Amino acid sequence: MIAWELDAQTLLAQAAALVADERDWVANAANLSALAGTQIPGLNWSGVYLLRGETLVLGPFHGKPACVRIALGQGVCGTAAQRRETIVVPDVHAFPGHIACDPASQSEIVVPLLAADSANRRERLIGVLDIDSPHCNRFGPTERAFFESLASLLVRSSDWP
C-alpha cells in the first residue's frame, strides 16, 4: 500500500464540497475523477464508464486516453457492472479477460454506480467508477471503502440520463 497524504475522510469531505452545488453528472464525474487522480498517490487512471444498452462507454476521466467501449461481462469493468459488485484486482495480469487500455496498469478497483429505481425493486446500473494503478496490490480495504463512498456520493449528487 502507498500512504495517502490526506486521510480518506478529509478527501471525502473535499469531494462532497466539489459536488455540493452541482447536479450535472458530467461536471461531477470529471471533478471527482480529477480529485482522485491528483490527490491519491499511486494511481495512473481514474474515471467513469456509463452504461449504454449492453455496453459501458467512456465518460469523464483523469489519465491517459482509454478504451472507449467495454461490453458487459468483459474485463474488470464489464464484470463489475454485470455482477453489480465492487471488484478489486491485485494483479490485472491474473484477471481472466483483462482489457489492457494502459499497459502500465498493474492493479485495479471497479465500483458499480447504482441508483435507486422506484419503478423496480433492483437498483439501476448507471455505470462504473474505474481506478487503475501502476503498482500491484495497490488497493486494500481503505481504498475499497473510500471508492465505494466516492461512487455513492457521485450517484446521489448527480442527475443521470
Across the range 5-22, mean pLDDT stands at 91
Q: Where are the alpha helices (DSSP H) in 22-108?
A: 25-39, 75-83
Across the range 10-39, mean pLDDT stands at 97
User: Phi and psi dihedrals of 23, rounded to 5?
Assistant: -110, -10
Superfamily of domain 43-157 in the CATH hierarchy: GAF domain (3.30.450.40)
Across the range 76-83, mean pLDDT stands at 97
pTM equals 0.94
pLDDT at 6 (0 to 100): 67
The percentage of residues in the chain with a pLDDT greater than 70, rounded to a whole number, is: 96
Amino acid code (one letter) for 4: W
Band (pLDDT 50/70/90 cuts) for residue 5 is: low
C-alpha cell, 32: 471527482
User: Is a pLDDT exceeding 70 seen at residue 94?
Assistant: yes
Give dist(CA 21, CA 53) in Å, integer. Answer: 30
User: Is a pLDDT exceeding 60 seen at residue 1?
Assistant: no
Q: Tens digits of per-residue pLDDT, 26-68?
A: 999 999 999 999 999 999 999 999 999 999 999 999 999 999 9
Q: Tens digits of per-residue pLDDT, 102-113?
A: 889 999 999 999
pLDDT at 119 (0 to 100): 74
Amino acid code (one letter) for 31: N
pLDDT at 124 (0 to 100): 94
Give dist(CA 35, CA 147) in Å, integer. Answer: 12
Band (pLDDT 50/70/90 cuts) for residue 3 is: low
